[in-house]
Amino acid sequence: MEYRAGTVGRIIAVRFDHGEDFLAGLREIVLKEHIASGWFQIVGALDRADVVTGPKEPVVPPDPIWRQVDAVCEVVGSGSVHLDNGEPKIHLHAALGDHGETLTACVRRNSRVYLTIELILFELNGLGASRPWDEQIGFSKLHFS
């Protein structure tokens, strides 16, 4: 285990609208507002997303199980964002509900908003955190400088 203590900076509230790419919009805000590290919560709905539902086998590096969500689903999730060489690396885990069935997954790409998603982003200061690619474990692991 490794950790750092920091402080909460700005709190940014965002409304994403129907048809927008949620992950692309979040990246845009992080860059525009110069957020080096943050934690966020979301609530709303998606009608499309490419997600990872786990590894095929419990090995390192993992071989992810990809699933394409192509139906309207309610979404509630929590995640972090840290920069790697100036590029926002988003890690979002969310529960996606469709007519009483729930899929819990890591939302990775092509995340299209249905109606709206509300986001609260907490800027985290003083962590010296980044999320560089770690070849050994096969994903972008949280790192402290």
Residue 93: give its domain's CATH number: 3.30.1330.80
Average pLDDT of the chain is 97
Question: 71-92 pLDDT, tens per residue?
Answer: 999 999 999 999 999 999 999 9
In a domain, 133, yes or no: no
Report if residue 54 sits inside a domain: yes
DSSP label of 70: -
**139 within some domain:** no
Q: 5 in a domain, yes or no?
A: no
Structural domain that includes position 27? 17-125
| CA-closest candidate to residue 145, choices 74, 137, 131 | 131
CA distances from 10 to 49, 99, 104 (A): 28, 36, 29
Question: What are residue 129's DSSP bridge partners?
Answer: 144
Q: Which residues contact 64 (CB under 8 A, 6 or more apart)?
A: 52, 54, 55, 56
Does some domain include residue 25?
Answer: yes
pLDDT in tens, 98-142: 999 999 999 999 999 999 999 999 999 999 999 999 999 999 999
| Average pLDDT of span 4-32 | 98
Burial of 102 (0-12, 13-18, 19+ CB in 10 A): exposed
- Check: CB of residue 26 under 8 Å from CB of residue 15: no
Our count of domains for the chain comes to 1
The confidence score (pLDDT) of residue 82 equals 97
- Region 21-50: what's the mean pLDDT? 98
Whether 144 is in a domain gets the answer no
